[in-house]
């Protein structure tokens, strides 16, 4: 029983980690906004070694040349970076 609870908590994932609002995938070079996470983001499919957390989108873009995720960021910010 206890072991099952722990396994569930572990697969749920982020509870014990410090959660930053923005999550960059260094493999696909996409950055996500967790506050607006959509099913299409597939954040749960990002491999542990591929995810990086950032407090702000600016921090993320300073670290890597991420593209905005279509689902959570694309609609709003696409216009600002294409100018
Ligand atoms: Zn996303």
pLDDT digits (tens, 9 = 90+) for 20-55: 999 999 999 999 999 999 999 999 999 989 999 999
Alpha-helical regions (H) of 23-74: 57-63
Is the full-model pTM beyond 0.85?
no
Ligand 1 center–CA 8 separation, angstroms: 24
Residue 67 maps to a domain: yes
Ligand 1 center–CA 42 separation, angstroms: 7
Q: How many domains does the chain have?
A: 1
- In the chain, what percentage of residues exceed pLDDT 90? 64
Ligand 1 center–CA 74 separation, angstroms: 8
Compute the distance between CA of residue 49 and CA of residue 64 in angstroms, rounded to an integer: 15
Residue 9 maps to a domain: no
CB 68 within 8 A of CB 61: no
Residue 6 maps to a domain: no
Which residue range forms the structural domain that includes residue 74? 20-81
Ligand 1 center–CA 3 separation, angstroms: 32
> What distance, in Å, lies between the first and last C-alpha atoms of the chain?
56
Give Cα separations from 66 to 26, 58, 60, 80 (angstroms): 8, 10, 7, 14
């Amino acid at each position: 029983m206890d072991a099952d609870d722990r396994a569930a908590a572990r697969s749920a994932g982020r509870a014990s980690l410090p959660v930053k609002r923005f999550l960059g995938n260094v493999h696909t070079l996409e950055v996500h906004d967790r506050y607006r996470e959509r099913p299409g983001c597939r954040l749960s499919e990002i491999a542990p070694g591929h995810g990086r957390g950032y407090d702000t989108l600016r921090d993320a873009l300073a670290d890597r040349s991420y593209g905005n995720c279509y689902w959570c960021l694309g609609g709003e910010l696409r216009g600002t970076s294409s100018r």
